[in-house]
Structure 1
């Protein structure tokens, strides 16, 4: 009995030594007794799961937003150039052949426009903004719906230079660009897509920033240079990802501002924004 009693501590000692070798410093754990698995911290695994979700959201949001963003950027740029484009396309209607010395009475110009286009009723008159511009006589024609017929008259000769179907004073080209910018010429479906894409632009930008900041914090120096500038030493996919991320950081505020201002003109988001403004003005 005494011999057997002495052997038990030796076996337990060997077992403890084995556990220390398996769970000791080589395995990155303290020498003390291991905690139950349910109580062990899992920060690395938790971040990996969050990062995996953010990567998927960033990718699918980018696929959803990219076509809208490209079209919105190009059409928005073209929209800022509509005065020049209108003069190029509709120069005969918008400009006079020769600047005269005396302007004909406005009533005479209206009479000339009504004689050429008697249908409809007079809606408004837009006087020439410059000496080389024509007078615009806007007629409301029921057959045109919410559009109008604008007759262009030479203010010096009262000669009718032509007419265009306009939308609240906008030329057909400007109206076409406006529809492309708002709904991609897809009607209500395109408008809903534009609103959803503008809403998800926040997800794409915010997710990309979190992913890049987390990666830059782990792989590069914790400095503004490591976040704002691409890694020129990287090669292949890492180089492309670095340029993509650094460019996204610089454009983040602009993209968020673009999304916020675009949503104020959207169908559902714009309506709620209008109600919020009305409520704020009512409480002021």
Structure 2
């Protein structure tokens, strides 16, 4: 549910690429209402920061009743989901005080990567390939620090558009879930309406919303979908939307199209979401502060949703 679902969507790409295991992602709140088909050998992974989310706990019980192996990726040690799943991995992100999840999201993706690497190693992946991914993971904290150094620039972007009440966040592939997460963060703590979409789906209706001055955020690092995303950026530019891009360091092509560019260091594609999400979290944070909103305790939200 919520941010954990977005982590699951990233995990779908990760598991299919690194472990070559067919993977589907479901909202926990919808899972048991469609009578899911659980075949022999099915593993159901549940992702929850608190380990107490009512919908997710109900999904665990449904999956176990149907004979699935259940694994929990949770942060709170000894939580109900941690106890009721067959096995699991703790995120060890430490207490997350703010209602809007950030560091837990990062840790959820890291656990997905590590799990997929171990599964991939057991199935087809060479030792050297796995070790290369581990080295790249080791470099992520330093790369995130480099992104955080751009906080003042991101603050100015937030200040420029903080009064705009409608935003679009667009991405493809691994970065579609990051677009969803960026939109959710802006909604949660800034109270700004934002919609996350696959960039290609913009043409199927939402492009009608784009007008002069509307902020459109593209998650557009160098990857296999990059050229397609450039085409989507040009479509928004032609309609006078204000383009904010999260792009790979050294990308001069995107500077010609975007009004603002936030650069992230390069990384293997499965690891890129760990980097591209950070500027969007900062953008939401600064917008919230500028608008006078409570960042840690946004209205109408709770850290653990314990009712269905």
- Whether these two folds match at TM > 0.5 is no
- As a proportion of its length, which structure holds more strand? 2
Bigger RCO (CA 8 Å, 6+ sep): 2
**Larger Rg: 1 or 2?**
1
- TM-score (norm. length: structure 2): 0.24
What TM-score, normalized to structure 1? 0.25
